[in-house]
């Protein structure tokens, strides 16, 4: 974390809140629970859901037992630092997401970052089927619940149909392979008259880059990938770390080839997603890799771009490759801070609105990540490109094994684990900036360092009584293109 002072943090938080706060009775602020007065404070990184939450907050403030809500939006690339500083100064917001903290849920709970929720019986019944001990539940108490579906990936090929058509390409036949994408990006740039580039990306967000490369590696055939700390970058069947596998290397070499082709917008090496996305909608580049939330944010800021919005499937190395990606059970989204003076109101807000079935329909309409009930998207008012993407998700994203779901004692390993740096996203960023020249060596070292760190964490957890082993990370009965369901944990 950088050396921002507490005073500087509070000033920045106040300024940001004044610019982005929405909520009952127009309250601004964002100084956290300690400065909330009679209002409940809420911080998150969900840009595209702001309008929907504003409506919920206004309704809640007027309901019996409700209070005004002071809402603050943070870019996910900056939120982690703000939360760290708020924790140090005793000013965590009442409710928040955990974007940017990069700490497992078990470690956050053990570190005093959250308190259990007291959801209504009706709310518990609605979310119960998606709760897992060690992810959402700790010592039998619910701390968070998911609002999104696990059927998602973040490496979506979004594009500007106008620029693509101008280059003589068919917007209804977007590139599917690495070579097709390189050719399309070059064609767009050559026809752009010096006014537009082929591709832009949020290279200033290494954590996002890591997630997206996990997705691309899976689509390339890697039988493992993204997961919680301790399992990310492992093969599902064996549990071994394999960041150095050919699929990861091929993805990164493809990305570097785009830089070498000079189709990448100059300056993008430091851009966060809000900057890259805004430049993309302004026409600076034809293609942009982003998550499913892209249209929800882009069309909120520039509604007219909807006429130019196109989407392509996740890229694969070779034509004819059947796409399959895997996603662990969706983690919890909204967390209640232990310092909250409005826990009763917070629990009522979460129970009555965010755990309600209606919220899935609301999420679908905002074109965020697909909602927990993904089936409602087709009947929503979402953009046709978003609906097309969700259709691909339903066909090609499968439920991955999550080690903690098989042995809840692994949450004690999570508490002991330390993040290995440089991580996958750092290596990708370095490869694109030219700071990492031997990518295979960097990936091999990441695999080795990750394995050593996990061994140390397992040993530490076992010394404190945890019943865990390396076998807990292996799923020999895992099969490609199939969901890994709860009964399978007992049969491996």
Residue at which a domain ends, from 314, 341, 371: 371
Same domain, yes or no: 180 and 301: yes
Residue 384 lies in a domain: no
Whichever domain contains 337, its CATH number is: 3.40.190.10
Residue 1 lies in a domain: no
Same domain, yes or no: 202 and 323: yes
Residue 379 lies in a domain: no
Point out which residues pair with 42 in neighbouring strands: 71, 95
**What are the tens digits of pLDDT across the range 462-491?**
999 999 999 999 999 999 999 999 899 998
Query: What is the pLDDT of the chain when averaged over all its residues?
Result: 90
Give pLDDT, residue 225: 85
Is residue 118 pLDDT above 90, yes or no?
yes
- Using an 8 Å Cβ cutoff, are 273 and 290 in contact? yes
d(C-alpha 314, C-alpha 242), whole Å: 21
Residue 113 lies in a domain: yes
Identify the band that residue 37 occupies on the pLDDT scale cut at 50, 70 and 90: low
pTM of the model: 0.86
Same domain, yes or no: 90 and 10: yes
Give pLDDT, residue 13: 36
Total count of domains within the chain: 2
Is residue 36 pLDDT above 50, yes or no?
no
Identify the band that residue 7 occupies on the pLDDT scale cut at 50, 70 and 90: very low
Same domain, yes or no: 111 and 233: no
Residue 82 lies in a domain: yes
Give pLDDT, residue 6: 31
Is residue 9 pLDDT above 80, yes or no?
no
Same domain, yes or no: 316 and 462: yes
Same domain, yes or no: 290 and 163: yes
Same domain, yes or no: 118 and 130: yes
**What are the tens digits of pLDDT across the range 193-245?**
888 999 999 999 999 999 999 999 999 999 998 777 778 999 999 999 999 99
In the chain, % of residues over pLDDT 90: 83
Residue 454 lies in a domain: yes
- Using an 8 Å Cβ cutoff, are 144 and 332 in contact? yes
**What are the tens digits of pLDDT across the range 265-291?**
999 999 999 999 999 999 999 999 999
Same domain, yes or no: 167 and 236: yes
d(C-alpha 445, C-alpha 230), whole Å: 15
What average pLDDT does range 415-421 have in this prediction? 93
Give pLDDT, residue 318: 95
Same domain, yes or no: 226 and 325: yes
**What are the tens digits of pLDDT across the range 129-188?**
899 998 999 999 999 999 999 999 999 999 999 999 999 999 999 999 999 999 999 999
Give pLDDT, residue 38: 85
Same domain, yes or no: 452 and 343: no
Residue 458 lies in a domain: yes
Same domain, yes or no: 134 and 200: no
Q: Note down the domain range covering 353.
A: 6-145+331-371
Residue 383 lies in a domain: no
Point out which residues pair with 133 in neighbouring strands: 137
Same domain, yes or no: 341 and 439: no
What average pLDDT does range 433-451 have in this prediction? 97
């Amino acid at each position: 974390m950088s050396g921002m002072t507490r005073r500087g943090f509070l000033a920045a938080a106040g300024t940001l809140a004044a610019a982005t706060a929405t909520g009952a009775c127009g309250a601004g602020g964002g100084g956290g629970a300690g400065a909330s007065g009679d209002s409940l404070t809420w911080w998150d990184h969900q840009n595209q859901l702001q309008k929907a939450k504003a409506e919920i907050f206004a309704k809640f403030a007027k309901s019996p037992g409700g209070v005004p809500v002071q809402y603050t939006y943070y870019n996910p690339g900056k939120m982690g630092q703000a939360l760290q500083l708020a924790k140090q100064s005793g000013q965590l917001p009442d409710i928040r997401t955990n974007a940017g903290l990069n700490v497992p849920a078990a470690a956050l709970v053990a570190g005093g970052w959250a308190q259990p929720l007291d959801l209504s019986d009706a709310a518990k019944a609605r979310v119960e089927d998606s709760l897992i001990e060690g992810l959402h539940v700790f010592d039998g108490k619910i701390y968070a619940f998911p609002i999104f579906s696990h059927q998602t990936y973040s490496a979506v090929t979004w594009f500007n149909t106008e620029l693509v058509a101008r280059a003589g390409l068919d917007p209804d036949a977007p590139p599917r392979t690495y070579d097709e994408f390189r050719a399309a990006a070059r064609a767009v740039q050559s026809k752009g008259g010096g006014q537009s580039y082929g591709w832009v990306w949020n290279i200033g967000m290494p954590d996002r880059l890591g997630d997206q490369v996990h997705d691309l590696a899976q689509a390339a055939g890697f039988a493992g990938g993204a997961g919680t700390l301790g399992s990310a970058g492992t093969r599902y069947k064996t549990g071994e770390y394999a960041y150095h596998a050919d699929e990861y290397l091929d993805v990164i070499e493809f990305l570097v080839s785009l830089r070498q082709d000079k189709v990448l917008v100059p300056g993008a090496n430091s851009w966060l997603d809000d900057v890259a996305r805004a430049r993309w909608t302004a026409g600076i580049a034809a293609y942009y890799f982003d998550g499913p939330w892209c249209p929800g944010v882009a069309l909120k800021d520039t509604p007219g771009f909807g006429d130019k919005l196109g989407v392509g499937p996740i890229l694969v190395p070779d034509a004819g490759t059947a796409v399959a990606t895997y996603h662990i059970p969706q983690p919890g989204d909204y967390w209640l801070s232990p310092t909250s003076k409005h826990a009763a109101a917070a629990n009522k807000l979460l129970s009555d609105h965010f755990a309600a079935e209606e919220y899935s329909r609301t999420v679908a309409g905002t074109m965020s990540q697909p909602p927990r009930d993904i089936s409602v998207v087709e009947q929503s008012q979402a953009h046709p490109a978003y609906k097309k993407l969700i259709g691909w998700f339903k066909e090609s994203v499968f439920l991955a094994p999550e080690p903690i779901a098989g042995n809840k004692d692994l949450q004690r390993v999570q508490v002991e684990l330390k993040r290995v740096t440089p991580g996958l996203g750092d290596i990708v960023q370095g490869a694109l900036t030219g700071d990492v020249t031997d990518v295979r060596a960097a990936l091999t070292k990441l695999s080795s360092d990750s394995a050593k760190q996990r061994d140390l964490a397992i040993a530490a957890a076992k010394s404190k009584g945890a019943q865990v082993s390396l076998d807990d990370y292996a799923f020999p009965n895992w099969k490609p293109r199939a969901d890994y369901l709860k009964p399978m944990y007992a049969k491996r």
